[in-house]
Amino acid sequence: MDSWACFQKRVLRIQPLDYGLVARWISFIPRGQLIHHTIVNTPPIKGEKPLGWGLHYLIGIVLALIHVLLWGEVWLNSPSILPALVTGIVTLIFPFCIIQPCLGFGIAASKTPSPWKARGLSILVHSFYGVGLFLSTWVLNYRFF
Q: pTM of the entire structure?
A: 0.88
Tell me the pLDDT tens digit for each residue of 84-112.
999 999 999 999 999 999 999 999 999 99
Neighbouring CB atoms inside 10 A of 109's CB total 22
Residue span of the structural domain in which 20 resides: 2-144
Structural domain count of the chain: 1
How far is CA 108 from each of CA 9, 46, 122, rounded to the nearest angstrom?
A: 21, 28, 9
Please provide the average confidence, as pLDDT, over all residues in the chain: 94
- For 16, phi then psi, to 5°, come to -75, 175
Q: Has residue 145 got a pLDDT over 70?
A: no
Establish how many alpha carbons lie within 13 A of residue 5's alpha carbon, considering only the half-sphere containing its beta carbon: 13
